[in-house]
A = this chain, B = another copy of it.
Amino acid sequence: MTSKEKGILIVLSGPSGVGKGTVCKALRGCAPDLVYSVSATTRVPREGEVDGVNYFFKTREQFKKLIDTDQILEWAEYVGNYYGTPRQFVEETLNSGKDIILEIEVQGALQVKQKFPQGVFIFLLPPSLDELESRIVGRGTESEESIRSRMSVAMDEFRLMDYYDYAIVNDKVENACSRIQSIIVAEHCRKDRVFSKIKQWMVEVK
């Protein structure tokens, strides 16, 4: 309606193996206006990685300060390094009127929900449990024990779907993308988003 309408934070999450990364990559092709959240990390940049594009590279002290000042929407430690989502980049994008998508593990998404409940939380599902298992097996890098463990974690994560707004099935990547795009359009049409403009109309006429 107005050019000054705020963007929407979309959080795409789901169990390991469900295809979050593949769907997000495909979205870049079909939803060019969508901004992709850039994570912060304390790990050392690899060759060719650009600060602010691939990651925001931080020292441990800088990262800890971001956490302490509530400037990180979610974070985790992984193989000795911090990884997280800086609030500033998300908020600046939203204030500029653009939508931003954050692809993230299930636990991280719940952290984001606490700090940013106005986000739109989408849970990505496999078409079936068998399909999820064969995708994990298909990576060829997992032992049988590890596959069982991943499936068990996935089952726990399915229970957390209740904290999400939407659940979409990743039967085909293009279908999943199209569903996400529909959700974004629909969320922009939510009455509360449009109502403020209409209130102006009523003032004009009175």
Q: Which residues of A pack against B, CB within 8 Å?
A: 1, 122-123, 125, 129, 151, 155, 158-159, 161-162, 164-169, 178-179, 181-183, 185-187, 189-191, 194-195, 198, 201-202, 204-205
Contacts and interface: CB of A to CB of B under 8 A. Distances in A.
A169 B168 CA distance: 26
Nearest to A164: B191
A190 B205 contact: no
A202 to B, nearest CB: 6
Task: Tell me if A's interface is mostly helix, strand, loop or mixed.
Answer: helix
Nearest to A129: B201
B125 A167 contact: no
Copies in the complex: 2
Nearest to A123: B191
A129 B182 CA distance: 28
B162 A195 contact: yes
A143 to B, nearest CB: 20
Nearest to A158: B198
Contacts of A155: 201-202, 205
Contact of A186 (B1, B169, B186, B204): B186
Given A158-B198, A202-B158, A205-B155, A168 B189 contact: yes
Contacts of A166: 186, 189-191
